[in-house]
Structure 1
Amino acid sequence: MTIELEEPPLTQDNKQVFKDLLGGTMGGIAQVLVGQPFDTVKVRLQSAPEGTYNGALDVIKKLLANEGPKGFYKGTLTPLVGVGACVSVQFSVNEYMKRYYDQKLQGRPLSLLQFFNCGAIAGFANGFLASPIEHIRIRLQTQTGAVKAFNGPIDCAKKIYQSNGLGHGIYRGLVPTLFRESVGLGIYFATYEALIARELRNDKSIVRQDIASWKLCAFGGLSGYTLWIGIYPVDVIKSKLQTDSLSKPVYKGSIDVVKKVFASSGIKGFYRGFIPTILRAAPANGATFAVFEITMRYLG
């Protein structure tokens, strides 16, 4: 399948890479500010022992009662900096790969598979950055009660490293993160580009830069849906590993998580927290793509 993209040829230069990084950073900041409350609810549901919560609404009620509205933004500093960096890597590598294919194909349109490859490579590169950032964020998000194990992201990273080192500590959950990012972002970016191409085919009087902001939000939201529908169980596996005890871990690895979750909860165990994730997908990813595209237009 070939997708026609009616836009000017892409150029490979340092200035363009800087623009991609800046655009991705702005998109990442928008994603965190819009999506963090949903993500906190999702992580609480994914990581809490069986029976702790009766669903997303129960998490919200207990969080408001025990921690107040600011509880939804617990650990926000880490994702604000970290997700900004992650989305920056995602978008810049994806755009770089699109330029690579554009040169290789000498201006011929990229296929859907090639767009998937661009996103998958971007996801794999991003996984090495996302894994430790998400690990620290999740540790902070799941802290409850008056006594806190960690006093912020730096203290959290320091204590994880001191107790478990790099591979089994800071980078715990790396394998499922790499799989989630590679497959997920391949689907994510391919879906978005397919929707953009469809819009340009339907209205041949416009170019990419003319597409309305609300449509960019809608395309980003739909891309977020396909991302999470495709890889959500892998995210649960990753979260189980990253919220496991540092001193007395319950899980030996990803396969052990799969066995134990299935034994205790069946298939539904891999979809705990799915509703807040899907509710988050449209606004968070819509904001991400819209802010990225608008920033790129502003930068020229």
Structure 2
Amino acid sequence: MTIELEEPPLTSDNNQVLKDLFGGTMGGIAQVLVGQPFDTVKVRVQSAPEGMYSGSMDVIKQLVKNEGPFAFYKGTLTPLVGVGACVSVQFSVNEFMKRYYDDKLQGKPLSLSQFFVCGAVAGFANGFLASPIEHIRIRLQTQTGSASGAATFNGPIDCAKKLYQSNGFGHGIYRGLVPTLFRESVGLGIYFATYEALIGRELKNNKNMIRAEIPAWKLCLFGGLSGYTLWIGIYPVDVIKSKLQTDSLTKPNYKGSLSVVRDVFAKTGIKGFYKGFIPTILRAAPANGATFAVFELTMRVLG
């Protein structure tokens, strides 16, 4: 299956890479500002001991009661900088791969599988950056207690230092790398392929329209739908990653991903791999809609 995109040929000039990086950074910032409260709730539900919370609404109530409304933005500095960098890598590598295929196919339309490969390569590259950033963010998000209470980590830099001091790079800062790479590769392959399929369908239905003329609200809609397919496809892997990255630093319960799988399945069955799914899906549409819309609009401004 090929998807025809009625737009000018992709260019390969050096400035284009910088434009892609900047556009991705803007999209990443939008994603964090919109999605951080949902992500905090998701991480708390995923990583909490059994029985601590009855569900997402209970997390919200306890956060507001015990830590105040600003607790939803705990650890925001790390993702604001980090996710901006991650999304810039995702989009720039994805656009680079699209240009690669455009040259290889001499301007012929890419197939859905080729769009998947573009996203998967972007995801794999991004995984090495996303893993430590998400690990630090999750450690900060899951600190409980009031603002006046003693905190294990006093910010992202302190967190990174303590993770390294406890277990080095591989088992400390980069703990959870393998499931992150799998999640990013498969997830972003689905993510970008879905988005391009929706863009292609829109242009096919409106033959006089070019990509730059698609209205912002439709870009948001397509981005939101792409976010749904992403998370539906890889959510259990994200639970495994979160369990690894919230495990005790001094006396870890898990040796690796398989250890998490066995433990979760033994305690809660299949449903254990979908803890926190509701806030994730609620977050998917606005966060990913904002990401794609801001990226596309930024690229239009940059030319």
Same fold (TM over 0.5): yes
How much does 1:205 deviate? 1.0
Query: What corresponds to 2:259 in structure 1?
Result: 256
Match of 1:85 in 2: 85
Q: 2:180 maps to what in 1?
A: 177
Question: Using the alignment, how far apart are the partners of 1:11 and 1:65 within structure 2?
Answer: 53
The secondary structure found in structure 1 opposite 2:59 is: helix
Q: 2:194 aligns with which of 175, 181, 191?
A: 191
Q: Which residue pairs with 2:112 in the alignment? A: 112
Query: Secondary structure in 2 aligned to 1:49?
Result: coil
Write out aligned runs for 1:1-300 (5 A): 1-145=1-145, 146-300=149-303
Cα distance in structure 2, aligned partners of 1:89 and 1:4: 25
Taking only the aligned residue pairs, the percentage that are identical comes to: 84
**How far does residue 14 in structure 1 lie from its aligned partner after superposition?**
1.2
Aligned residue for 2:151, secondary structure, equals: coil
CA distance in 2, matches of 1:249, 1:293: 43
Give me the TM-score of the superposition, normalised by structure 2.
Answer: 0.99
Deviations 1:128-160 (A, max 9, x none): 000000000000000012221000000000011
Q: Please report how far the alpha carbon of residue 118 of structure 1 lies from its aligned counterpart in structure 2 after TM superposition.
A: 0.1
Kindly report structure 1 stretches of 4+ aligned residues shifted beyond 4 Å: none
Letter in 2 for 1:230: G
In 2, Cα distance between the equivalents of 1:13 and 1:175?
Answer: 34
Q: Distance in 2 between matches of 1:219 and 1:24?
A: 17
Q: Which amino acid aligns with 1:39?
A: D
Paired letter, 1:112:
L
List gaps (5 residues or longer) in structure 1. none
Q: CA deviation at 1:265?
A: 0.5
SS in 1 for 2:229: helix
Deviation at 1:102, TM superposition (A): 0.1
Instruction: Extract unaligned runs of 5+ from structure 2.
Output: none
- Alpha-carbon displacement from aligned partner over 1:166-194 (angstroms, at most 9, x marks no partner): 00000000000000000000000000000
SS at match of 1:266: helix
The RMSD of aligned alpha carbons is 0.4
